[in-house]
Chain A
């Protein structure tokens, strides 16, 4: 016959003791978390967000009468559609226009324009029609966005190159086992933290003041931030690299730099390539944004069109960014699969 395992009576003399899983302490912690959530939620207007979103959902389902969110979005959407593809320019305003050498994919059209002009005799505004010759480029704006996208890619590429060049010495000094002394180690680590803590957009804002509008500020902003990232990760890989080949080279007195080059770099190269590919990927996305503060590339074009309320142009740019990032994502995924 089976006997139940005896349970010690409460309060009996047992050496082992297992507490109940929850105690007053847990309750206090949960209460504290709730208070923090409520306070911060109120300050970030989370209650209002929920209300407005519910209202928008209601409007879409035909329940609510009006929704600020839906109104705003639809206003933007209608003004953004259709995206602008072409460009027209008045020929009389083109300084170096040659009639026999039209740019490819363009044609000359004569447009009738009605303008209000003041009649000098009656001093009244009268409609006055005028024919203007214009150069029509049906995909002119797409081409110029494409060129801006290429400039954006170039900014990303050079940002990455600068990051790699800067981070190599940084990594050497920031690796505890290669840095010549404590001071250089601390200095390198501090510099890396400084670079990493400054977001690209803010750095670009200041670099635009220093270097003027254009790609230089963008390249430097991307490069400096990424140098911090790469320096940190390169350095940590150096510190964690297999010690055995390094010991073999140290034993014959090869010197630090040569030991690093022959005993460490070949071993950590796959990770280095992965980090650098990630930085290139990130820089491609950041380069589209960084132009918002005037640091060149497609972002600068986007900001300009946005400020001039040309939302059709903005739409074209957004579609172009989406297509580019999508293609590059696919490409980088393929390259990464091949490398690793």
Chain B
């Protein structure tokens, strides 16, 4: 589904954000990218929808390389859930969810806010699915609590039936209880639609609990790639405290698709 081919990114000042990342994420997998701050998790995620352009290597979605030419088409199939929710805080919850449809809605409809009735029904259905009440529809998004805002963000992400959901630290600004609810919601919604999820996290317990697979990153390199069961405490301390990883990191080549777990 998603292939990272020798991906590298150097910032203009010469700092290396990513170096030589090769990964394959099969369809329907919930893959957690785990690592300390500054490990390059966000940069890796942002390479998938072209918010960041790599200086080396490429990303392929279903075999199509992401370039400036293909970006517009590919982006419609890739949703994103953001750490700070990135809602338009002065717009209503309904308008925020409907804005998830903007790539496929005609300009006159978008500018007048006159969305098709099936689209409006879909927005309502998704808001119900993420656990909000009908009274929330007309509230301003900025007036909701953090957890509720992230629910709106999830509803917006699923409006276009995405094949891939990129969740960039979706629970970093939420408390532990709500974090668990939000991740459950993303995982379950993804399973219902057989959506591939690439989710960056920095909480080890959440990564173990929700990931089908954990990719550990440090200093722009992959230092662990395996199932939560393989992610033992020694590997955790190596990821967070150890200077270097002893074994060469597992290369997740296409044949590693056998690694894919069974999905409900």
Interface residues of A (CB under 8 A from B): 242, 244-245, 247-255, 257-259, 261-263, 266-267, 269
With both chains docked as a complex, state the minimum distance between the C-beta of B48 and any C-beta of chain A, in angstroms. Answer: 10
Are B102 and A252 interface neighbours, CB within 8 A?
yes
Q: Provide a sorted-by-A list of 19 A–B residue pairs whose CB atoms are within 8 angstroms.
A: A244-B86, A247-B86, A248-B153, A250-B51, A251-B51, A251-B75, A252-B49, A252-B78, A252-B103, A252-B160, A253-B71, A253-B75, A254-B103, A258-B107, A258-B111, A261-B111, A262-B95, A263-B99, A266-B90
User: Chain A residues with Cβ under 8 A from B73's Cβ?
Assistant: 253
Task: Count chain A CB atoms within 10 A of each CB in B49, B51, B71, B110 and give the residue with the most.
Answer: B110
- Of residues 39 through 91 on chain B, the ones whose CB sits less than 8 Å from some CB of chain A are 49, 51, 71-76, 78-80, 82, 84-91
A250 to B80, CA, bound (A): 10
Check A262/B110 contact, CB under 8 A, given A248-B87, A252-B160, A267-B89. yes
Interface residues of B (CB under 8 A from A): 49, 51, 71-76, 78-80, 82, 84-91, 95, 99-100, 102-103, 105, 107, 110-111, 153, 156, 160, 166
Q: In chain B, what residue has the closest Cβ to A244?
A: B86
Are B80 and A249 interface neighbours, CB within 8 A?
no
User: Chain A residues with Cβ under 8 A from B160's Cβ?
Assistant: 252
A255 to B101, CA, bound (A): 11
User: Chain B residues with Cβ under 8 A from A259's Cβ?
Assistant: 102
With both chains docked as a complex, state the minimum distance between the C-beta of A123 and any C-beta of chain B, in angstroms. Answer: 83
- Report, nearest first, the 7 A-B pairs whose CB atoms are least far apart: A253-B75, A254-B102, A248-B86, A244-B86, A245-B88, A251-B80, A266-B90
Are B89 and A254 interface neighbours, CB within 8 A?
no
Given A252-B75, A257-B111, 12 other A-B residues pairs in contact with their CB atoms under 8 A: A244-B86, A245-B88, A248-B156, A249-B99, A251-B78, A252-B80, A252-B102, A254-B99, A254-B102, A262-B88, A262-B102, A266-B88
Task: Count chain B CB atoms within 10 A of each CB in A252, A258, A263, A269 and give the residue with the most.
Answer: A252
Are A257 and B88 interface neighbours, CB within 8 A?
no
User: Chain A residues with Cβ under 8 A from B95's Cβ?
Assistant: 262, 266
> Which listed residue, B91, B110, B166, touches A258 by the CB 8 Å rule?
B110
Are B90 and A269 interface neighbours, CB within 8 A?
yes
Are B88 and A263 interface neighbours, CB within 8 A?
yes
> Which listed residue, A248, A253, A263, A267, touches B76 by the CB 8 Å rule?
A253
With both chains docked as a complex, state the minimum distance between the C-beta of A178 and any C-beta of chain B, in angstroms. Answer: 15
Q: In chain A, what residue has the closest Cβ to B46?
A: A251
User: Chain A residues with Cβ under 8 A from B84's Cβ?
Assistant: 244
User: Chain A residues with Cβ under 8 A from B71's Cβ?
Assistant: 253
A262 to B95, CA, bound (A): 8
A249 to B82, CA, bound (A): 11
